[in-house]
A = this chain, B = another copy of it.
Amino acid sequence: MAKNYTDLWLHYAPIQSADADLFRTISIPAGTSPILANAIDELRTASEGLFGFQPEFVLVESDHGIALAVDESLPTQNEGYTLISDSRKLRITGKSYAGLLYGVFAALRMAATKQSLKNQNIVESPAARWRVLNHWDVFSGGRAPVASDAAGLVARPRRYSIFYQGDDIMSDELVRDYCRALASVGINGVAIHNVNVVGNAFDFITPRFYRQLTALAELFAGYGIGLILPLNFASPIVIGKMETADPAVPEVEAWWHKQLAELNENVPNIAGYVVKADSEGFPGPFVYGRTQAQGANIIARAIRPFGQKLFWRCFVYNCQQDWRDTTIDRARSGYDNFQPLDGQFEDNVILQIKNGPQDFQVREPVHPLFGGLEHTHEMLELQIYQEYTGAQTHVCFLMPQFREILDFHTFARPEKDTVADVVGGRTFGDYENSGICAVANANATVNWTGHDLAAANLYGFGRLCFDPTLDPDVIAREWIVQTYSDDPLVVKNLGHILGTSWLTYEKYNAPLGLGWLCNNGFHYGPGPDIYEYDRWGTYHRANWKEIGVDRTSRGTGYTKQYHKELTELYDNIDTCPENLVLFFYRLPYTYVLKSGKTLIQHIYDTHFEGVEDVEVFVREWDELKGHVPDDVFERVQKKFQDQLAHSKEWRDVINTYFYRRTGIPDAKGRKIYE
């Protein structure tokens, strides 16, 4: 069956392996389960690809081969597994069927990356209960988006989203293959629509979609994935034809109870709901003078009977700011809006908090709500969609960034105080309501992610959620070997590209944590002054002599939102991490950094260096011709050419912008356009 898309890292290319014999006979436990059936299917596919034979599946365990088992007494979390082996036999045990599936995928990963499966004693639990993707796909319903060329000559409908085609929610082979990839890295929840719920997506919780959602949820369940639906807070008005969505009105809460009860009676296997309220024009409890907790709790109570979670986003800020008003600091808004509500949320509410106080910039500090909430469940929201990091045209492997975030000490407790601990339930002891999510980067395209190398972010995100202690370089290598091969040149060159790509992107983007030098709208490409007089609260206020906003205790007071160790760290320019110094300080262009360079020279130097880095990437990729499949080579080569041209655009716009401001020439006399 020819597919018109890649197998991602489930490529299962033939290998020579001393472990092949293990796969000849596989015993399976008694009983049936859709997950078990999928695990067996995967073993069949993988063995055929890796070793050239299909396993014999038997019901009676013997002293050789592989034994699959489920054991509820396993000393792991519910989705944990063990891989126990000697030289002849490997036993894969899940605490649940989901755990077993993860164990199977772990074994296949080890086989495909040529790690020995023999004489192992592996015990694994996912580090956080919820490992979720948020798809920002938009369901257009009757108004499907069309592709058209610049001249408007061609207009034809096509499938953009993995989940939608025209009016329909899909659950076909494409979706199944996506589930396989997600389960292979431990993703266990998928929100299938943009948090901006508009138009026909309102109807997702109405009878119109019961049948199609049921099919999708069932497919998901077979891979241990929970279906998550975004909700619009104004649904009582739009769907319910009520006059209000005020959470304090009993009829409104009753409406949510009734609507969601009917939904759950008809659509089994829904795991939860995600809500963007009072954010960027979307309705929420603020419309009625209620708190975020009041808003969240009415929905949380409605779904509690079904054991479901409400993922409530904290991206709430004033998006109608007057740029002239310097008393407002958007970075403060998440903490200011939510910290005072600590403890007021129902127990099945999980606050979904972006990694930083801004919006997925290439570098920003960790959000102060992590560790700032002690009596409220928290989930980390990351982004692999690359909204601000190259839009899947630039290669930007984000695991090094994610590791920095996860390793960050919040000082909320003397120990187990990192972000990974907080959102893994280890700091405040609420594993069942812990989690990490990411805005997803996959669509219905030949390589799933637009840029073939962007799939490494999808892979890495899942792996890191499961085990936040993984080394980004190890993750990258796993992905490279499974996706392409262990050809040393491929591993070396691609490893270097992926491993350094984030810091390279940072070099030619906004310097030192400044952020927001991008275009508005799609946030792709430079636009260094575009946000300055706009309503979004993202100002650097650059003038002829200085740039940045003082967010210390002496300025907007943002630093006071952290625990005191961090307040002191950031309040002192000597201890403030220099790669964030323009987030926290307003500085003259002539300020001397620890490198001995002035700020302006640092900007020039990094922007030239960033392009030079990309030139290296281009060469490293070109060396891989013949070492990776030709179609992949050509697609990625084209992307690198785009990245090179566009990194020059970044370099030239940013350098010219600052040169035009300051009149200070480059100390090295390189070309800066007038």
**Which residues of A come within 8 Å of B, CB atoms?**
143, 150-153, 155, 197-199, 232, 234, 237-238, 281-283, 323-324, 326, 526-530, 532-533, 541-545, 649, 652-653, 656-657, 659-663, 673-674
Contacts and interface: CB of A to CB of B under 8 A. Distances in A.
A661 B143 CA distance: 46
A305 B657 CA distance: 57
Nearest to A544: B663
A545 B662 CA distance: 9
B674 A543 contact: yes
A526 B533 CA distance: 8
A540 to B, nearest CB: 11
Nearest to A324: B673
A324 B155 CA distance: 34
8 contacts: A323-B673, A324-B673, A528-B529, A529-B532, A533-B656, A541-B660, A543-B674, A544-B663
A153 B234 contact: yes
A48 B604 CA distance: 76
Given A198-B152, A527-B533, A530-B530, A674 B544 contact: no
B152 A541 contact: no
Contacts of A234: 151, 153
Chain A binding surface SS class: loop
Contact of A541 (B528, B661, B674): B674
A323 to B, nearest CB: 8
Contact of A151 (B151, B152, B281, B542): B281
Nearest to A529: B529
Contacts of A326: 674
Given A527-B530, A529-B530, A530-B530, A543 B660 contact: yes
A509 to B, nearest CB: 15
A241 to B, nearest CB: 12
B151 A199 contact: no
Contact of A544 (B198, B652, B661, B673): B661
A544 B152 CA distance: 42
B281 A150 contact: yes
Task: Give this chain's copy count.
Answer: 2
Question: Closest 6 CB pairs between A and B?
Answer: A529-B529, A543-B660, A152-B198, A150-B281, A151-B283, A533-B653
Given A544-B663, A652-B324, A152 B199 contact: yes
Contact of A545 (B282, B323, B652, B663): B663
Nearest to A281: B150
Given A543-B659, A545-B663, A674-B543, A153 B238 contact: yes
- Most B Cβ at <10 Å: residue of A282, A532, A541, A545: A532
Given A151-B283, A527-B533, 12 more contacts: A153-B238, A323-B653, A323-B673, A324-B652, A526-B533, A528-B533, A529-B529, A533-B649, A542-B660, A543-B660, A544-B661, A544-B663
Among A281, A528, A530, residue most surrounded by chain B Cβ atoms (within 10 Å): A530
A653 B197 CA distance: 34
A661 B663 contact: no
Contacts of A532: 529
Contacts of A282: 151-152
Contacts of A661: 543-544, 660-661
B199 A663 contact: no
A151 B152 CA distance: 30
A303 to B, nearest CB: 22
Contacts of A663: 543-545
Contact of A155 (B197, B199, B232): B199
- Looking at A152, A153, A234, the one whose CB has the most chain B CB atoms below 10 A away is A152
A153 B674 contact: no
A232 B153 CA distance: 10
Nearest to A542: B660
B541 A544 contact: no
A197 B152 CA distance: 8
A156 to B, nearest CB: 12
Contacts of A545: 663
Contacts of A529: 528-530, 532
A534 to B, nearest CB: 8
Nearest to A648: B324
Nearest to A662: B544
A152 B465 CA distance: 34
A541 B661 CA distance: 11
